């Protein structure tokens, strides 16, 4: 039986305030609450649960997506196609874990030390993480157990759907060895009081069976059930405040009526995803911190990464019905190695992906028209598809900055996301387009489509983790180098992006960070 | 959008005078447009029926799907008429854009855009205006206006919502047989 929901006073300065309830914030909140630490989580969006999710792409987008105004710049194609939608992420309790596809992959050993392994790549700001796979292994293990990741902890893999079968048959024919239905945080059998996957096919729109792990209906209610965690919905964080000693003291937010409130805090953890998190730190500038909080390095907002992405869709003579079942139903891992002989450093994965007719029309080749486009759409039932997700190069100029003129409804500058593809990203994408088409050609594709990147779902960097304070924003615990009681708890901590979907690593880092915060609080250090 | 088998108010004279310029797909009356063979008609608010007929043809030429009837294209572009009724500047953009298409058609020796017999000829005109705000407004509107109509999904072989049917776990998620 759930405890009475916690309700903390605005002036209670013993609480940990967490901004965001997604993979990072939702997990951190529950972990702290389980340890008896009082948590106030500020969530910009509302609360939607499996019964609320909608099996309809545009209607669901309206319900869940973060649609606040943002601007873009740079040579990436998203700037041209989706000028005001750099990222396709969620504004709701659970954050983008409502929308994510469930792929749960650990970073590979070499990906923790890319500067050492890849060397000095011109135009890239590569840096080794201050942590590695050995350090993270026990936390990955806890995260996989928490999330019910298939092919870990004795949990069987998911069955492959039609889209997977096409990809797997092609992979086998071109000589790939490492393809499977992957490690997915989607129940292949009932677990943790959640149902098994029913192959509904709307993973991106929120899982109506609750089979896919999301903090919205796992971590958040578990944290609330302790009586130690209060989630405030429609609470948009505007500014983090600090005292004369430079310690953060509270967070000013707009409540559901637009009224400004101030929640006092002992510790503040920022987990608003890699666009809002740096924006909040930059918008919290003061006379003591004129360039924004935690920004003595000047690195806040920089090194924005979004993974090298793209898709390959292909048409066949006979039906596939790729939209039936798990959206991300399988993976090819053979190209996820570092083999510079291919003409680029780092690697990439193929992961099956399907879109319904409405989103296929919007994303297959944005801006295209005429029979070349419509004949592709006419073949929808005979279409198979994979998404490409690879390591992109961090670049100092790829950055989230405050727009000099445009402000939001609260009068705060909106974020601009500038991104230029690095030559390494382009070389990797071209390789992946060719290999993806080869996979489908091997099983009789009549036509293939090298589809450009969608608005970013994997947003990383912008508050990166570094061993030395001058090189980044946070230390190996996600604690800001400048302010001891200010933490970053989302994917913006990532030093580099690796080739893996980031959620599992975000969750593992949050579990580890919770242990650290608890120790530091107990020791009176924060 | 109304469906009817008997277009109202249609005069033979209108048919004769506009017939050539409008092609053969539509019959046009005061404030309405009726498909010549399919059983549907639509009323127009601000745009003329002839303009609406041109808009529907333009929509089909931008996203031609031979198995999708004009009715769905009409539904997809109807919002432009409604917007024109609310916003004079929008009406001007529509009127000028559609007028440009007819002028280009006449420059190419046809009576009007609708009077051009071949899709390729009409598409050649559309390419000339493809960067215009008018064209991009129509094209962009069609992405949601056309492809988000649930009634067209089955034509593409897309089944839409599946939760109420228990997903596809027992309905063919892995039924591929030709590999």
Predicted confidence band of residue B6 (pLDDT cuts 50, 70, 90): very low
* Whether the predicted pLDDT of A153 surpasses 60: yes
Measured from the Cβ of residue B6, the count of other Cβ atoms closer than 10 Å reads: 8
- Give which of A173, A324, A362 to mutate to test B binding, by max B Cβ within 10 Å: A324
User: Sorting pLDDT into bands at 50, 70 and 90, what band is A2?
Assistant: low
Instruction: Give residue A201's Cα distance to chain centre.
Output: 20
* E strands in A132-193: 179-180
| ipTM summary value | 0.95
pLDDT band at B21 (very low <50, low <70, confident <90, very high): low
For residue B7, pLDDT over 80 is answered with no
Q: Do B172 and A318 touch (CB under 8 A)?
A: no
Residue A18 pLDDT exceeds 50: yes
User: How far lies B117's CA from each of B22, B111, B120, in Å?
Assistant: 11, 10, 9
First-to-last C-alpha distance (Å) of chain A: 33
Residues A336, A350: Cα–Cα separation, whole Å: 9
Q: How many helices (H) and strands (E) does chain A have?
A: 12, 17
The 8-class DSSP code of residue A186 comes to B
Give residue-wise pLDDT tens across range A238-250: 999 999 999 999 9
Q: What is the mean pLDDT of residues A269-273?
A: 98
Instruction: Decide if B165 touches A, using CB distance below 8 A.
Output: no
pLDDT in tens, B79-133: 999 999 999 999 999 999 999 999 999 999 999 999 999 999 999 999 999 999 9
Residue A109 near residue A133, CB atoms below 8 Å: yes
- % of chain A at pLDDT higher than 90: 99
For the cut 60, the answer to whether the pLDDT of residue B10 exceeds it is no
pLDDT digits (tens, 9 = 90+) for B31-76: 788 887 777 888 899 999 999 999 999 999 999 999 999 999 999 9
Alpha helices (H) in chain B, listed in sequence order: 12-19, 49-62, 70-86, 88-107, 119-128, 133-145, 153-156
Write down the pLDDT at residue A460: 98
Residue B163 forms contact with A (CB below 8 Å): yes
Judged against a pLDDT cut of 60, whether residue B2 lies above it is answered with no
pLDDT band at B27 (very low <50, low <70, confident <90, very high): confident
Q: According to the model, what pLDDT value does residue A290 have?
A: 98
Per-residue confidence (pLDDT) for residue A318, from 0 to 100: 98
Q: Measure in Å the smallest separation between the Cα of A160 and chain B Cα atoms.
A: 7
Q: With cut-offs at 50, 70 and 90, classify the pLDDT of residue B17.
A: very low
By three-state DSSP, how is residue A194 classified? Answer: strand
| pLDDT of amino acid B11 | 45
User: Does A129 score more than 80 pLDDT?
Assistant: yes
- pLDDT tens track for A276-316: 999 999 999 999 999 999 999 999 999 999 999 999 999 99
What's residue B16's pLDDT? 41
Chain B residues with beta carbon closer than 8 angstroms to that of A325: 167-169, 173-174
pLDDT tens digits, A387-426: 999 999 999 999 999 999 999 999 999 999 999 999 999 9
Q: How many cross-chain Cβ pairs, A to B, lie less than 8 Å apart?
A: 119
Q: What is the mean pLDDT of residues A252-277?
A: 98
Q: What pLDDT is recorded for position B24?
A: 63
Per-residue pLDDT of A481-511, as tens digits, reads 999 999 999 999 999 999 999 999 999 999 9
Set of chain A residues whose Cβ sits within 8 Å of the Cβ of B169: 197-199, 325
Neighboring chain A residues of B178 at a CB cutoff of 8 Å = 316-318
Flag whether residue B131 sits within 8 Å of chain A, measured between CB atoms: no
A374 and B175 within 8 Å at the Cβ level: the answer is no
Alpha-helical segments (H) within A148-189: 162-174
Each residue's pLDDT tens digit, A310-321: 999 999 999 999
Backbone angles phi, psi at A97, to 5 degrees: -75, -10
């Amino acid at each position: 039986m759930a405890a009475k929901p916690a309700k903390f006073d605005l002036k209670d300065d013993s609480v940990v305030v967490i901004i965001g309830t997604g993979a990072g914030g939702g997990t951190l909140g529950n972990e702290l609450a389980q340890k008896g630490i009082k948590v106030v989580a500020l969530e910009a969006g509302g609360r939607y649960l499996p019964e609320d999710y909608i099996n309809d792409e545009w209607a669901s987008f309206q319900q869940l997506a973060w649609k606040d105004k943002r601007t873009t710049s740079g040579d990436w194609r998203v700037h041209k196609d989706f000028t005001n939608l750099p990222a396709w992420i969620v504004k709701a309790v659970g954050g983008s874990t409502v929308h994510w596809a469930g792929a749960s992959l650990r970073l590979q050993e070499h990906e923790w030390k890319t500067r050492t392994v890849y060397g000095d790549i011109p135009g890239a700001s590569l840096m080794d993480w201050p942590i590695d796979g050995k350090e993270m292994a026990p936390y990955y293990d806890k995260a996989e157990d928490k999330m019910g990741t298939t092919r870990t902890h004795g949990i069987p893999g998911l069955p492959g759907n039609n889209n997977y079968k096409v990809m797997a048959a092609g992979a086998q024919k071109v000589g790939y060895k490492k393809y499977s239905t992957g490690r997915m945080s989607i129940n292949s059998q009932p677990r943790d009081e959640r149902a098994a996957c029913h192959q509904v096919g709307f993973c991106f729109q929120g899982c109506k069976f609750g089979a896919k792990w999301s903090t919205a209906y796992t971590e958040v209610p578990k944290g609330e059930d302790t009586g130690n965690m209060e989630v405030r919905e429609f609470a948009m964080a505007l500014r983090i405040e600090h005292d004369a000693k430079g310690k953060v003291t509270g967070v000013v937010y707009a409540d559901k009526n637009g009224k400004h409130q101030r929640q006092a805090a002992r510790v503040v953890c920022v987990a608003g995803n890699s666009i809002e998190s740096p924006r909040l730190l930059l918008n919290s500038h003061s006379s003591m911190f004129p360039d924004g909080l935690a920004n003595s390095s000047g690195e806040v907002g920089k090194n924005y990464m979004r993974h090298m992405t793209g898709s390959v869709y292909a048409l066949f003579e006979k039906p596939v019905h790729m939209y039936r079942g798990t959206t991300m139903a399988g993976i090819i891992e053979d190209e996820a190695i570092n083999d510079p002989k291919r003409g680029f450093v780092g690697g990439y994965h193929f992961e099956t992906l399907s879109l319904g007719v409405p989103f296929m029309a919007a994303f297959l080749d944005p801006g295209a028209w005429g029979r070349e486009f419509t004949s592709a759409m006419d073949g929808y039932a005979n279409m198979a598809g994979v998404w490409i997700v690879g390591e992109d190069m961090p670049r100092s100029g790829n950055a989230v900055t405050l727009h000099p003129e445009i402000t939001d409804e609260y009068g705060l500058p909106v974020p601009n996301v500038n991104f230029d593809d690095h030559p390494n990203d382009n070389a990797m994408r071209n390789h992946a387009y060719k290999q993806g088409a080869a996979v489908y050609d091997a099983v009789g594709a009549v036509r293939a489509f090298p589809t450009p990147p969608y608005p970013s779902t994997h947003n990383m960097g912008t508050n990166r983790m570094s061993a030395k304070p001058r090189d980044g924003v946070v230390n190996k615990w996600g604690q800001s180098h400048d302010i001891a009681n200010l933490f970053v708890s989302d994917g913006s901590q990532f030093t580099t992006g690796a080739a893996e979907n980031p959620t599992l690593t975000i969750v593992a880092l949050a579990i580890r960070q919770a242990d650290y915060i608890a120790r530091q609080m107990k020791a009176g250090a924060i | 959008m109304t469906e009817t088998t008997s277009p109202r108010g249609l005069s033979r004279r209108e048919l004769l005078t506009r017939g050539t310029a409008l092609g053969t797909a539509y019959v046009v009356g005061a404030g309405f447009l009726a498909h010549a063979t399919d059983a549907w008609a639509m009323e127009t608010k601000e745009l003329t029926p002839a303009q609406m007929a041109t808009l529907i043809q333009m929509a089909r030429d931008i996203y031609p799907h031979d198995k999708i009837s004009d009715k769905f294209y009409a539904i997809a572009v109807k919002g432009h008429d409604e917007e024109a009724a609310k916003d004079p500047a929008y009406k001007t953009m529509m009127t000028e854009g559609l007028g440009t298409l007819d002028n280009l058609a006449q420059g190419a020796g046809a009576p009007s855009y609708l009077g051009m017999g071949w899709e390729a000829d009409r598409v050649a005109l559309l390419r000339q205006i493809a960067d215009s705000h008018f064209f991009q407004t129509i094209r962009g509107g069609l992405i949601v206006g056309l492809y988000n109509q649930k009634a067209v999904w089955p034509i593409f072989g897309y089944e839409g919502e599946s939760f109420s049917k228990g997903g596809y776990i027992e309905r063919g998620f892995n039924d591929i047989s030709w590999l």
